[in-house]
Structures are given as C-alpha cells and as structure tokens.
Amino acid sequence: MSQEPHNPESAVEADTDTSAAVPRRNGRSKGVASPIQASHSLEDVIVNRVHSDAARLGLTTLDRVGNTPLLRFDRITRDLPGITLLGKAEWFNPGGSVKDRAASRIISEGRRSGRFSSDKTLLDSTSGNTGIAYAMFGAAEGFPVTLCMPENVSIERKHILHAYGANIVYTDPAEGSDGAIRVARELHAKHPDKYFYADQYSNDANWQAHYYGTANEIWQQTEGRVTHFVSMLGTSGTFVGTSRRLKELNPKIRCISLQPDSPFHGIEGAKHMASAIVPKIYDPTLADEDLGISTEDSYAMAIRLAREEGLLVGISAASAIVGSLQVARRLKPGEQAVFVAILPDSGDKYLSERFWEEG
Ligand code: PLP
C-alpha cells in the first residue's frame, strides 16, 4: 500500500485546507480581486459586487461533504454512568452516507493524477452507498458512471441510482460484493481506455478521506476527549483512515473494528473479512479489538434506537452501537469514557426490510 507519511502537521494542514471551505462557503474567498479594483463606475462596482457575491451564495453538492454532527445517546446508556456515547451522523452528507467522503476524494485524486481524464467513465463495484455517491457526483459534475453491484441490494438504493442516471451492471447476489468486484475488474480489463476504475477497495484516497476529514472532525467535536472509536468494516476505509489519524493525535484512543459475525449476514455495506476478498487498504494492526456483531442484534438495536432515541439509523450504524455498548459494559463501573461510533447511514433505505414489522 502506498501511503503518505503520517505527519500530524501535514494532516492538520490538509484538513484545514478542506474545512477552510466551510467558513468561506457563504463568505469571501481568499485571493478574489475586489470588485472596486476591477470596475470603473459606481454602477459597475454595484453590479459586479452583486454578481461576484451571488456566485458564492448557497452550497454546492461537494461543499456539503463532511462536517457531520455528533449525536449523543443518553437513554440507551442510562445504566452506564460515566459513559458518553456519541454517533457521527454520516447521513448528513449530501448522498446520505459516509461514502460521500471516500467517493469525493477518489474522484478528485483521480482528476489530479490524470487517471480520471474527461473522456472516461467512472467504474467501480459497490454494495450501494459508494455507488450513490459516485452517481450523485457524476450527475453534479457531468461525467458518466457505471456501477457493478449485487442484484439483491435494497430496492431503495436501486431507485436512487436510477434517479441519478447511473448505468448499473447487476451481479450474482450469491457472490455478494466479491462477485461485483470480479465483474468490475473484468470490465476494466476489457476496456481499459473507456473506464477510470476507481477501485475503492485498493484506492488510498478512500482511507485518506477519513484521515484528513472524519478523524480531525471527531477530535475537534469531542475537544480531544474521545477515548474509544468504533466502526464497522466494509472497504475498511472509514476505520483505517480515522484510526490512523486518531492514534497520531492520542495513541491511547482505543480503536475497535467490527465485522459481521458470519459470512452470511444482513449488514449491508459490511464485510466478513475471513471469508471475503480482503481490501488492499485494510490494516488490521490498527485495531485494539475486532468484534463480530450479529445481524439479529443489529436489527434489534435499530428498532431500539428508533423507539428509545427517536433515531432511524441504518443496520451497520446499529451494529456500531451494539459494539460500543459491548465494550462499554466491560469497563470498570463508573469509569469515564467517551465513545464515538460511526453511523454510516440512516434507516430510510432499509424501511422495506421485514425486521421492522417483527420488532
Ligand atoms: N456501512 C454502510 C451502510 C456502508 O455502505 C459501508 C460502506 O459502503 C460501510 C458501513 C463501511 O464503510 P467502509 O467502506 O469505509 O469500511
């Protein structure tokens, strides 16, 4: 795996670069010439000012990636004094999931390196959320997108991808996300000049999106008080990038990765590493603990979070809360700890699942 040196200074700088867009979203950008210098009459000054200021009003799709809120779960931690449980609400990203972060960096790195030239179609395999992110950015920026995905992804995801106008190649549901990876590789091998193969499983821009973004946001939002970080593994980009940076900021932070506890599971977006094609970017040495989470416990937690906290979260988000509570219950009674769990998406895309009726 090729990696940039993990220089905390450079990470802060890069993060400042990215998040510097925030205060400037509706304000003035650095280096923009004053309209007074560029005009002659008062009328010109006023017209130019209206136009140049108007051009900076509102947010673009890209502007809305990252800086997601941290939610606090008070009711489900009632019996755990000393534990603060926080969830990073990634559905606040414009495409509704954590994967907007990886997709936007993969696209911008592809453009910067020249690999994603303007004549190419973006190609990748995806279990859904990354595909939604690619399709959304493709629509917003005007490039074509082809996605390979297992036929059995939720109907809501299929409708969203269709709405954004992406081209979808359905793959054998029995082969899961690995089948989709194989088909994407074949397509790229057949037409290397047609496609930019984004390859989220091997692309360093995936974990870097979290190294420069998610981790620094968590650090700032918890005022450096985070003690435990918990995340489900899919491509592993979220866990790897965030843990790598958090451990630089404070090596004592415990980083806990989660996986489905069996190869056959209902946790969309998650990977059972022992039985899957292991992503190139995965670095298991970053995890202080790796826990197997059951689909049934995740379903039950999704229902609990809806009914006790008033929050509709996706299944892998519910898994992250199950994992956080498992670790929290093992701490000494009353021990102070601040858990941050990644909530990759909301429950909206899973409402057709039967478990809601059974709860
Ligand atoms: N949860 C959901 C719902 C996802 O869609 C994904 C990835 O697609 C993940 C978790 C895992 O995130 P990562 O790929 O960064 O490991």
Task: Name the residue at shortest CA distance from atom 3 of ligand 1.
Answer: 269
The alpha carbon of 283 and the centre of ligand 1 are apart by a number of angstroms equal to: 16
184 vs 145: CA distance, rounded Å: 12
Which of 88, 85, 140 minimizes the C-alpha distance to 345? 88
Helix (H) or strand (E) holding 323: helix 315-330
pLDDT along the chain (359 residues), means of 10: 36 35 33 40 66 81 96 97 98 98 98 97 92 97 96 86 96 89 96 97 98 98 98 97 98 98 92 93 98 98 97 98 98 95 95 87
Q: What are residue 97's DSSP bridge partners?
A: 345
- Look at ligand 1, atom 8, and give the residue with the nearest C-alpha: 269
3-state secondary structure of 301: helix
Burial of 52 from C-beta contacts in 10 A (0-12 / 13-18 / 19+): middle
Is the CB of 243 within 6 Å of ligand 1? Answer: no
Residue 232 CB–ligand 1 contact under 6 Å:
yes
Ligand 1 pocket test target in 105, 127, 129 with most atoms within 8 Å of CB: 129
Task: Specify the pLDDT at position 42.
Answer: 64
What's the 260 CA to ligand 1 centre distance in angstroms?
Answer: 12
240-266 per-residue burial string, b: 16 or more CB within 10 A, e: under 16: bbbbbbbbbbeeebbbbbbbbbeeebe
Sheet strand arrangement including 289-293: 70-72, 83-89, 337-343, 228-232, 254-260, 289-293
Nearest CA to ligand 1 atom 12: 234
CA 130 to ligand 1 centroid distance, Å = 8
Dist. CA 95–CA 86, nearest whole Å: 22
Which pLDDT belongs to residue 177? 82
> If you take atom 6 of ligand 1, which residue's CA is the nearest one?
269
If one counts every other C-beta atom within 10 angstroms of the C-beta of residue 345, the result is 26
Instruction: Report whether residue 131 contacts ligand 1, using a CB cutoff of 6 Å.
Output: no
The answer, yes or no, to whether any atom of ligand 1 lies below 6 A from the CB of 270, is yes
Closest ligand 1 atom to Cα of 126: 8
* Residue ID of nearest Cα to ligand 1 atom 5: 269
| Lookup result for tokens 């700032």 | 220
